[in-house]
Amino acid sequence: MPEMFVSDQLGGEIDKGVIKEGNVKWYLKRGHAEDIQWIKLKFSGHVGGEDQIDGESKDFEFEIKLK
């Protein structure tokens, strides 16, 4: 999990064409940051608007190359 107290708040809806900017921070428990070549992000989100909290949930997963 990211360190939410030191990360920017990026909540709200993210639709196609929407750009969200900010910093999400993780602290490494082992290794060196400069050695990381890629990361995998996995998260769940609701499908539909913020007011549809009982709506369908969807899992997302993608990899980001850093080098």
Domain that includes residue 41, residue range: 33-65
52 vs 37, higher pLDDT: 37
41 falls within a domain: yes
58 falls within a domain: yes
Least confident of 37-41, 48-52, 58-62: 48-52
pTM across the whole model: 0.57
Which of 13-22, 33-42, 54-63: highest mean pLDDT? 33-42
* Number of domains making up the chain: 1
Question: Residue 10: what residue type?
Answer: L
> What's the CA gap between 24 and 37, in Å, rounded?
18
Residue 48 in tokens: 């539909």
23 falls within a domain: no
> What's the CA gap between 60 and 41, in Å, rounded?
8
* pLDDT-based confidence at residue 40 (cuts at 50, 70, 90): very high
Q: What is the pLDDT of residue 32?
A: 92
45 falls within a domain: yes
